[in-house]
Amino acid sequence: MPDAVVTVLSSGEHTGDAYELMLVEAPCGSPPPLHSEPWPKTFHLLRGRILVLLDGEGCELATGDTLTIEAGTMNSFSVLTDDAVFLLVCPGTGMSGFFTDVDALGKQYLPEDALMSRFGQIATRYGIRFAEEVLP
């Protein structure tokens, strides 16, 4: 992802599709666009501080804090320190599928407009919605 490195530590195939566990390493910089997923997700901060936006409200997390975001909640996060590292836990297999498909897309070396169009198709396939139009 352009705003973080996401490593799948335990995929749905290892948990009988019950949940997935990912490690997210994010530098300070531009936050991901405000978005929602059709599944809940839980952040557990291992290092740093982040500000999580939830339907327009801010919630600051520091090392050791945990936050669960309900399915369908518009959300994003900003890194408040040089970097932040957190665990991301999601039910099912949608989140790792999305990250895997986006990673493969980045290896195709497409023109920007084609890249953004395919990104939009991937997001739609996984039921991810954006608060504002982020695609051309």
Q: State the DSSP string of 48-95.
A: SEEEEEETTEEEEEETT-EEEE-TT--EEEEE-SSEEEEEEEEESSHH
Distance CA 113, CA 126 (A): 20
Task: Please give the pLDDT value at position 39.
Answer: 96
Low-confidence ranges of the chain (pLDDT < 70): 133-136
Report pLDDT for 133. 56
Portion of the chain with pLDDT greater than 70, in percent: 96
pLDDT at position 136 = 42
Average pLDDT of the chain? 91
Q: Is 58 exposed, middle or buried (0-12, 13-18, 19+ CB in 10 A)?
A: exposed
